[in-house]
């Protein structure tokens, strides 16, 4: 699986938030999408999953765009939004069934995956609950389960660490690692730099809707003229100070 | 504070006008005229059958007047952020609420005047009351209600207590007693009690200005509920954003979904069917309209009115289902599913066909009950079927398309 974002320009309405963004996510790579509030992380993600239409440039997954084959493109992606979005009228069990139906997945095999994930996140005894009875963190876990039980090859997670308890963060990182070993790719946007620094292979730094820099931690240090022992936080602050 | 109130009132009224304009479209005006016509027809027929005062006449008048007096409370137009941002201005809120109370007296006055006016025909015929007595009671009730608005105000301050009893309860008891005395014996009682009550409560609520402490949570919740009721009413006729309704599991109805197989094609039918049954708003609407229709059809003896009621109500239920489709379409996650818009609309049409067919069968039974197996029954039922087909296969698919993105 390869995701290619080429010269992506776009945004909401008439305003272009993104200006000619270019980066790639390769097979088996975990990529961190990093930037200040309002830099354009979520907008980038919304373009990739197809909720927004690019005004210019291209987004390709394994060489095909959303325009080429909508269903094929969408089946390759699993998405966990920043704010959990659930159906108020469906129970947890029904959310899983619905996802299986929507993505035309193998019922028994997917349930096997789902059960494992549900157990990990301690949701296995809440299958008959409605979303209104879940806390925010629990809802987020439901979103994670519904995304990671599918056989998608690109996982896109928007701000996964806020709102989750430390145990769940750890569990999520393990699941991400597992998917990575299986050859899937993961793109996650986050502000929790210390965590992402240890678990991502590559970082894409976004500022004012443009890719300021991308690469591994060492490559970034070189680009920003930083010392050997500096970390992602230092780079981030340096990037933010460039505006001043 | 007064500036804040005026600003909010202006915005609120602007909003109301916007919705009223949407409500009073052709569909609604048509339905409204038919409904008013049918009710007026029924009322005048009913009056025609009364030749001498009834035993239950006065109790009915008392009950209806009591209920009419309950209509309308203080519209505070408070918003949830107020409890954070305006907390420091708490003392000044009294003047804000004073203005709110004045504004809120409009709806009860109109309601009471209108109800009394409409009821006067029955009151004089069925309850044997004198016209002058009816007018006196009406004026007394309005004064009483103006006093009662103070109770709403005191509730916001958590001070609506009369000894250990709730002020609301005491007021309503007083109201019932006053109504009974003034309808059976001496109508001026209502005005006398109303005036006394009004002045007493006005004096009571004055003390809030200096010593009142707002019950923010209660005040905001009450206002939200009030807004919700208004919006839910508007929502019967047009789409109102932000109306979230209650959801119930209704496990005992799970059997209904059995025929829906867990396959890709049924994804949206699976979702729509459960949502419709569990969301009080939509199933409630369907049940209300179906029951009202069945009752009207079973009572009305006029072929043309029955024909209009049959066609109109089936159309209305179909029309009211649209917002449900829109609501689901606004869910971001479903937009990512690899499923075409055409399938979504087809699945929704399946659901609406089932719902309207149930309504059609129920209405057909009511028609057979009233008209028997006659050519008239047949015409009405076939007309209903025609509307059902029109709504599901011509109207819906076109209308739903615009909600897809």
pLDDT of residue B270: 94
Say if residue B269 is in the same domain as residue B189. no
CA–CA min distance B333, chain A (Å):
7
Give the total residue count for chain B. 405
- B223 in the same domain as B334: no
Asked if A102 lies within 8 A of B332 by C-beta distance, the reply is: no
Q: Are residues B258 and B228 in the same domain?
A: no
Helix axes B188-206, B167-184, angle to 10 degrees: 160
Distance from CA of A94 to the nearest CA of B (A): 9
| Domain co-membership, B259 together with B345 | yes
Asked whether residue B244 carries a pLDDT value surpassing 70, the answer given is no
Q: Which of B112, B98, B108 is nearest to B153 (CA)?
A: B98
B233/chain A closest Cα distance in angstroms:
22
Q: What average pLDDT does this structure show over B313-329? A: 89
User: Quick one: average pLDDT of B89-108?
Assistant: 86
Say if the Cβ atoms of B266 and A101 lie within 8 Å: yes
pLDDT at B401 over 70: yes
B45 and B146 inside one domain: yes
Asked, for residue B241, whether it belongs to a domain, the answer is: no
State the pLDDT at residue B351.
Answer: 95
ipTM of the complex: 0.89
CA angle, residues B367, B370, B375, in degrees to nearest 5:
65
**Same domain? B355 vs B217:** no
Rounded to whole angstroms, how far apart are CA atoms A168 and A137?
9
- The residue of chain B with its CA nearest to that of A89 is B275
Mean pLDDT of the residues in chain B: 86
B367 φ, ψ (degrees, to nearest 5) = -65, -45
**Segment among A23-32, A96-105, B14-23 with least mean pLDDT:** B14-23
pLDDT, one tens digit per residue, over B184-214 is: 888 888 888 899 999 998 888 888 888 778 8
Q: Which of A102, A126, A140 to mutate to test the interface with B (most CBs of B within 10 A)?
A: A102
Closest Cα in chain A, distance from residue B216 (Å): 24
Q: Which residues contact B101 (CB under 8 A, 6 or more apart)?
A: B74, B149, B150, B152, B153
Using alpha carbons only, give the angle B63, B64, B66 rounded to the nearest 5 degrees.
65
Summarize the confidence of residues B148-158 as an average pLDDT: 87
pLDDT at B37: 80
pLDDT for residue B237:
64
- Are A50 and A74 in contact by the 8 Å Cβ rule? The answer is yes
Q: Is residue B244 part of a domain?
A: no
Greater confidence, B57 or B147? Answer: B147
Q: How many structural domains compose chain B?
A: 2
- For the cut 70, the answer to whether the pLDDT of residue A97 exceeds it is yes
Domain presence at residue B246: no
pLDDT at A240: 86
Could you tell me if B82 and B213 lie in one domain?
yes
Which CATH class name applies to A1-76+153-162+183-244?
alpha beta
**Contact with chain A for residue B284, Cβ under 8 A:** no
Q: Lowest mean pLDDT of B86-90, B138-142, B167-171, B268-272, name the range.
A: B86-90
Of B244, B266, B271, the CB nearest to A90: B271
Could you state, in order of their start, the residue ranges of all structural domains in chain A?
A: 1-76+153-162+183-244, 83-151
pLDDT score, position B383:
94
In this predicted structure, what is the pLDDT of residue B15?
A: 85
Name the residue of chain B whose CA is nearest to A71's CA. B338
Same domain, B348 and B259: yes
Residues in chain A: 244
- Alpha-helical segments (H) within B50-130: 57-70, 82-85, 93-104, 106-125
Do both B198 and B258 map to the same domain?
A: no
Domain boundary among B233, B263, B289: B233
Whether B333 and chain A come into contact, CB under 8 Å, resolves to: yes
In terms of residue numbers, what domain contains B388? 251-401
Final residue in a domain of this structure, among B233, B260, B291: B233
Which residue in B337, B344, B351 has the most chain A C-beta atoms within 10 A of its own C-beta, making it the best mutation to test that interface? Answer: B337
Residues B95 and B156 in one domain: yes
Q: What's the CA gap between B302 and A97, in Å, rounded?
A: 50
| B361 within some domain | yes
Q: Is residue B374 part of a domain?
A: yes
For residues B67 and B140, membership in a common domain is answered with yes
B205 and B267 in a single domain? The answer is no
Q: Residue A24: beta bridge partners?
A: A4
Interface of A with B (CB under 8 A): 49-51, 70-72, 74-75, 77, 79, 81, 85-91, 94, 97-98, 100-104, 107, 128, 130, 132
Which of A46, A84, A98 would best serve as a mutation to test chain B binding (most B beta carbons within 10 A)?
A98
Of A87, A107, A132, nearest to B262 by CB-CB distance is A107
Distance set, CA B312 to CA B31, B293, B305, B360 (Å): 7, 9, 10, 12
In 3D space, the residue among A149, A164, A183, A215 whose CA is nearest the CA of residue A62 turns out to be: A183
Given CB atoms, is B260 within the 8 Å cutoff of chain A?
no
Residue B243 pLDDT: 61
| pLDDT 10s digits, B347-389 | 999 999 999 999 999 999 999 998 888 999 999 999 999 999 9
Q: Are strands A154-158 and A77-80 parallel, antiparallel or unpaired?
A: parallel
- Residue to mutate among B263, B338, B344, with most A CBs inside 10 A, is B338
């Amino acid at each position: 699986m390869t995701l290619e974002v080429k010269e992506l320009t776009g945004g909401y309405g008439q305003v272009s938030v993104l200006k000619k963004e270019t980066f790639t996510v390769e097979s088996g790579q975990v990529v961190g999408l990093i930037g200040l509030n309002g830099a354009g992380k979520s907008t980038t993600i919304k373009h990739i999953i197809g909720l927004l239409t690019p005004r210019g440039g291209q987004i390709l997954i394994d060489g095909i765009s959303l325009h080429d084959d909508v269903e094929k493109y969408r089946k390759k992606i699993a998405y966990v939004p920043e704010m959990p979005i659930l159906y108020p009228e469906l129970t947890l069990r029904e959310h899983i069934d619905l996802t299986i139906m929507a993505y035309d997945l193998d019922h028994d095999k997917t349930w096997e995956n789902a059960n494992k994930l549900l157990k990990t996140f301690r949701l296995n005894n809440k299958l008959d609950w409605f979303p209104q009875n879940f806390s925010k963190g629990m809802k987020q876990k439901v979103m994670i389960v519904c995304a990671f039980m599918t056989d998608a090859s690109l996982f896109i997670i928007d701000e996964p660490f806020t709102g989750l308890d430390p145990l769940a963060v750890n569990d999520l990182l393990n699941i991400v690692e597992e998917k990575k070993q299986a050859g899937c790719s993961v793109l996650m946007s986050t502000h929790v730099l210390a965590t992402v620094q240890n678990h991502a292979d590559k970082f894409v730094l976004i500022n004012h809707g443009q890719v300021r820099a991308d690469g591994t931690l060492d490559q970034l240090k070189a680009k920003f003229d930083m010392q050997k022992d500096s970390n992602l936080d230092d780079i981030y602050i340096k990037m933010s100070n460039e505006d001043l | 504070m007064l500036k804040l109130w005026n600003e909010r009132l202006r915005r609120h009224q602007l909003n109301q006008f916007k919705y009223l304009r949407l409500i009073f479209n052709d569909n609604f005006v048509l339905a409204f005229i038919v409904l008013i016509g049918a009710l007026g027809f029924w009322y005048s027929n009913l009056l025609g059958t009364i030749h001498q005062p009834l035993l239950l006449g006065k109790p009915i008048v008392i009950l209806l007047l009591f209920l009419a007096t309950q209509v309308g409370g203080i519209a505070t137009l408070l918003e949830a952020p107020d409890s954070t941002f305006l907390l420091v201005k708490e003392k000044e809120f009294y003047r804000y609420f004073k203005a709110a109370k004045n504004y809120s007296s409009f709806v009860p006055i109109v309601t009471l005047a209108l109800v009394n006016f409409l009821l006067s025909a029955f009151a004089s015929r069925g309850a044997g009351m004198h016209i002058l007595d009816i007018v006196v009671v009406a004026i007394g009730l309005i004064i009483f209600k103006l006093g009662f608005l103070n109770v709403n105000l005191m509730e916001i301050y958590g001070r609506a207590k009369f000894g250990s009893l709730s002020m609301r309860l005491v007021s309503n008891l007083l109201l019932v007693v006053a109504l009974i005395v003034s309808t059976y014996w001496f109508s001026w009682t209502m005005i006398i009690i109303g005036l006394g009550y009004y002045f007493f409560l006005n004096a009571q609520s004055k003390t809030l200005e200096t010593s009142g402490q707002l019950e923010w949570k209660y005040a905001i919740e009450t206002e939200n509920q009030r807004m919700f009721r208004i919006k839910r009413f508007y929502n019967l006729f047009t789409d109102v954003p932000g109306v979230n309704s209650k959801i119930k599991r209704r496990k005992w109805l799970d059997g209904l979904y059995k025929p829906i197989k867990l396959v890709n094609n049924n994804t949206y039918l699976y979702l729509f069917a459960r949502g419709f049954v569990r969301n009080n708003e939509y199933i409630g609407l369907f049940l209300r309209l179906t029951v009202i229709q069945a009752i009207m059809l079973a009572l009305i003896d006029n072929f043309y009115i029955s024909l209009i009621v049959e066609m109109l109500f089936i159309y209305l239920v179909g029309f009211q289902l649209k917002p449900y489709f829109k609501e689901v379409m606004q869910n971001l996650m479903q937009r990512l599913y690899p499923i075409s818009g055409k399938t979504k609309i087809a699945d929704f049409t399946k659901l609406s066909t089932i719902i309207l067919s149930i309504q059609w069968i129920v209405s057909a039974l009511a028609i057979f009950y009233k008209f028997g197996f006659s050519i008239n029954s047949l015409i009405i039922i076939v007309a209903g079927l025609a509307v059902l087909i029109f709504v599901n296969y011509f109207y819906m698919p076109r209308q739903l398309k615009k909600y897809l993105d």
